[in-house]
Amino acid sequence: MDTAGKVIKCKAAVAWEPNKPLVIEDIEVAPPQANEVRIKIVATGVCHTDLYHLFEGMHKDGFPAVLGHEGAGIVESVGPGVSEFQPGDRVIPLFISQCRECRFCKSPKTNQCEKGWAADHYDVMALADSRFTCKGKKVLQFMGTSTFSEYTVMNQIAVAKIDPAAPLDKVCLLGCGVCTGFGAAVNTAKVEPGSTCAVFGLGAVGLAAVMGCKDAGAKRIIAVDINSEKAEKAKAFGATDFVNPKDHNKPINQVLVEMTNGGVDYSLECVGKVEVMRTALESCMEAWGVSVIVGWTDMHDIAIRPGHLICGRTWKGSMFGGFKSKDGVAQMVKAYMDKKLMVDEFITHNMTLDQINNAIDLMKDCKWYIPTNLSTKKFPIGYLISNFIYFFIPQHSDCNECFSAITQLSSMMAS
């Protein structure tokens, strides 16, 4: 059935209000307007940032919304003025735009874009304008993407065209977690060959950071997490050492300083807690150490003493691993297709779409080793969805940071 130019009715997981379960609803997705593309989402991930908005940030103006920002899909139709994409293109939606025209896009110093949704609405985490409606109400588009819907509409500056042979149920992870961690090590920290690194938090982002440190040639990579069950997984991604802070009766930064004769050359905080951010900084070599904040939070201030920086340490932040979004995602997909990047190894679970709240509970309860393979289910409105959610390692050292999940939505027919 030709859906171009028509309103599509489909399923989506709607967050009607903060701190409440998501609800699978029938929503309407309007046709793309000028410079927009409508995408049939084939796979999506669940990241801590989705839960941060739902359970922690809870901005009063950020609901109702369709969450999700780590997806992949197929272009269904395009609006006026779109020349870069055509129906059938395989794409990854981006929560960071790349217009290629603004001063940020033209600068090699940043991967930010002045034309993206976050320029003025990072606190609400959504633009006021949206192509979604449900029960007669406007539903917000989370982080400009909203991949917890079978269809979404994106501005073309926030979409990356990828290799048509790439498996969408795998490379969707490159829409957030893997690029964020890997790039934080390679692009932001600029880890050097022969160096010593420490990665705090061993979920999707942290493991990707470990992988990035290894790719950059680090000689020693110390993985830090309060869950010792993650040790072997970290070593599979390139860690040489594992340290559990609970196994020591002194601050973990002191432990690392003693292990490395003064501190690591690079530390990456992949937890999203201000206390860990400071600890990661204090774990660095005082004279030249570089510490990168990767985990997201906007809930608390952070405090340090000037002496922690004056002697030579550098403290940086990293958004999406420093990748220019369109260019970087395409490059990472190519690296995966060339078997130079681990992605499949993050997968641990699969569940059906209507089990999304169970997925969230698993994430919160850190039940990421339980294998699940649930059968295809038929939705009651007359079309079949063969959909699976593939769960990944939680990103947060206390299991609240990330439990990446992929929802593969195939054999879909819009009603």
H-run or E-run covering 224 = strand 220-224
The amino acid occupying position 123 is D
pLDDT of residue 243: 97
Q: Are 175 and 101 in contact (CB under 8 A)?
A: no
Helix axes 274-282 and 252-259, enclosed angle (nearest 10)? 20
| Cα–Cα distance for residue pair 39/117, rounded to 1 Å | 18
- How many CB atoms within 10 Å of residue 412? 18
Amino acid (1-letter code) at residue 33: Q
Q: Which pair of structure tokens corresponds to residue 279? A: 């600890």
pLDDT the model gives residue 388: 33
- pLDDT at position 76, please? 96
Question: What are the angstrom distances between the C-alpha of 39 and each of 99, 149, 256?
Answer: 19, 10, 46
Residue 230 and residue 225: Cα distance in Å, rounded? 8
3-state secondary structure 107-123: CCCCCCCCCCCHHHHCC
d(CA 245, CA 285): 19
- Give tens-digit pLDDT for 162-195: 999 999 989 999 999 999 999 999 999 999 999 9
For residue 59, give the 3-state DSSP assignment: coil
Show the low-confidence residues of the chain (pLDDT under 70).
1, 58-59, 117-125, 351-352, 365-415
The predicted pLDDT at position 367 comes to 52
Instruction: Walk across the sheet containing 90-93 and list its strands.
Output: 151-155, 36-45, 70-78, 90-93, 159-161
Place of tokens 């197929």: 74
* Helix (H) or strand (E) segment spanning residue 23: strand 23-29
- pLDDT, tens digit, 9 for 90 and up, residues 217-260: 999 999 999 999 899 999 999 999 999 999 999 999 999 999 99
How much is the pLDDT for 392? 36
Residues 6 or more apart in contact with residue 211 via CB below 8 angstroms: 181, 182, 185, 237, 238, 341, 342
Distance CA 360, CA 187 (A): 31
CA 66 – CA 28 distance, rounded (Å): 12
CA distances from 245 to 223, 227, 249, 255, 278 (A): 11, 9, 8, 9, 15
Helix (H) or strand (E) holding 74: strand 70-78
Could you give the CA distance from residue 320 to residue 180 in angstroms, rounded to a whole number?
4
Angle at 352 between CA 94 and CA 149, to 5 degrees: 35
Nearest to 177 by CA among 375, 359, 390, 10: 390
Under a CB-based contact definition with an 8 Å cutoff, are residues 384 and 359 in contact? no
DSSP code, position 80: T
Largest CA distance in the chain: 66
Tell me whether the omega of the peptide bond preceding residue 64 falls within 30 degrees of 0, making it cis: yes
